[in-house]
Amino acid sequence: MRLILQANTQKFATKDEAREWANENYDKILVRELEYLKNHAWRAEANIVRAVEGFLKFRKEMRPRSYRNDVWAIDIIMSFFIGDIGIKNFAKFHIYNQNLLAHLMDATTARNEPISYSSVGKCINTYNQFMKWLRANSYVSSHEVERLEIPEKPISEREREESWREGRYISPNEIKKMEMWLRQNNKGHIADAMILQHHFCLRIGELVTISPKTVNLLTNGNEKLKNQLKNEGETVYGWLVLTHQAEKPASLRDGVDFNKVSLKSRKLIGGERGTEFLPIRDKRVLEILKRLVKETFDRFDNLQGQSQPKTGQAYSDDLENYPLFHDIHYTQYNNELALAAFECQVRFTGSHSLRHSGITECYVKYLNEAISKKLGRHRSDKIHEIYLHMAAKTKKEEDDLYSISHLRDLLG
């Protein structure tokens, strides 16, 4: 990082002066590096020289009126490129992506401070813009470079504690209290939704799309998961089959073959695109689903009687896709649960905490972490760490409560 080293060795009265010096002299340093590469052709291939020339033009186009962090992002990217990779084959630059990420995480700015995670993101976004610019201006071909993905932010102990304290966990006993209050106050439909969301660890978008077609008591589903649960002493009574469909972003609706668009460019309705089999692990949940399906059939027939009735395949399709919770609105559902939690003196931060609580219960209950990860349907190592931490806290609290209760029993 020659630029940064030079910036740090100069004597400046303030950090702003150091930053200003680096900004003014960066192009000169870069031109000097470029001349060095040209004069030592045995150390640099022609496409590297073209890339550096391209970068000079790119940076000139990107230069903002005032000095900002995104310029430091460009500086760090190219300081690394010239200093550490400049003598290597640019056509194989993507091989060094991980080195670049590691370098960015440890890099220092002219202020001699560790680069922040947000700055790492800016660096990588700038790098991707630079690669795109090089391809567009024919400095490199499209297959010679790859996009860099922003690394996941490391999780700290503080974040784990905050996740725990935010009230994202509701114990099974607290859910029972809330359910009892809801049923006593003629809000059984809300109670049913709460039980299902907690049991299946559902997002609200997944909850409202459950229909008779979703409830499958015959299909084998995920045989591997079924066997894993069997080893944990669990019985699978059936499956909730969720199919996540991708929606077309507005920019892709016209003139683009949607099937050729990468999954990351698509807007997903919770979870990954495709079909997921969620096991019914509780007989009571099975009975609730059966009752809801029957009630949905009856309600649908009543609606058919009030309008022009459909027949044949059209009738079957509409019936199968009619939502079990057709009358639940997110705000109303959240407010009803918040009221129940308030009446039962339960800490509650939103309906999504039922999903967090359901996943945490899985981590507490099952020895095999792969089961919990599958049931929770999350793929992030960071989130995995948070749930492990929450489960450990939950287990400790339960053990402490058991110890106190056991001691009281012994003391009479």
Which residues form the domain of 223? 166-249+262-375
pTM of the model: 0.55
Q: Are residues 224 and 178 in the same domain?
A: yes
Q: Are residues 301 and 205 in the same domain?
A: yes
Q: Are residues 175 and 140 in the same domain?
A: no
Q: Are residues 142 and 101 in the same domain?
A: yes
Three-state SS letters, the chain: CHHHHHHHHCCCCCHHHHHHHHHHHHHHHHHHHHHHHHHCHHHCCHHHHHHHHHHHHHHHHHCCCCCCHHHHHHHHHHHHHHHHHCCCCHHHHHHHHHHHHHHHHHCECCCCCECCHHHHHHHHHHHHHHHHHHHHCCCCCHHHCCCCCCCCCCCCHHHHHHHHHCCCCCCHHHHHHHHHHHHHCCCHHHHHHHHHHHHHCCCHHHHCCCCCCCEECCCCCCHHHHHHHHHCCCCCCCEEEEEECEECCHHHCCCCCHHHCCHHHCEECCCCCEEEEEECCCHHHHHHHHHHHHHHHHHHHHHHHHCCCCCHHHHHHHHHCCCCCCCCCHHHHHHHHHHHHHHCCCCCCCCHHHHHHHHHHHHHHCCCHHHHHHHHCCCCHHHHHHHHHHHHHHHHHHHHHHHHHHHHHHHC
List the CATH number of the domain containing 323.
1.10.443.10
Mean pLDDT of the region 200-213: 86
Q: Are residues 178 and 45 in the same domain?
A: no
For residue 27, being part of any structural domain is answered with yes
Give the pLDDT of residue 307: 56
More confident residue, 58 or 128: 128
Give the pLDDT of residue 306: 55
Q: Are residues 147 and 9 in the same domain?
A: yes
Q: Are residues 287 and 340 in the same domain?
A: yes
Q: How many domains are contained in the chain? A: 2
For residue 79, being part of any structural domain is answered with yes
Residue range 135-149, pLDDT digits in tens: 776 665 665 555 656
Q: Are residues 122 and 204 in the same domain?
A: no
Q: Which of 151, 178, 210 is the C-terminal boundary of a domain?
A: 151
More confident residue, 154 or 324: 324
pLDDT band at residue 360 under the 50/70/90 scheme: confident
For residue 54, being part of any structural domain is answered with yes
Q: Are residues 179 and 281 in the same domain?
A: yes
Q: Are residues 173 and 202 in the same domain?
A: yes
Average pLDDT of the residues of the chain: 66
For residue 305, being part of any structural domain is answered with yes
Residue range 185-201, pLDDT digits in tens: 999 999 999 999 999 99
Q: Are residues 120 and 243 in the same domain?
A: no
pLDDT band at residue 7 under the 50/70/90 scheme: very low
344 has pLDDT over 70: yes
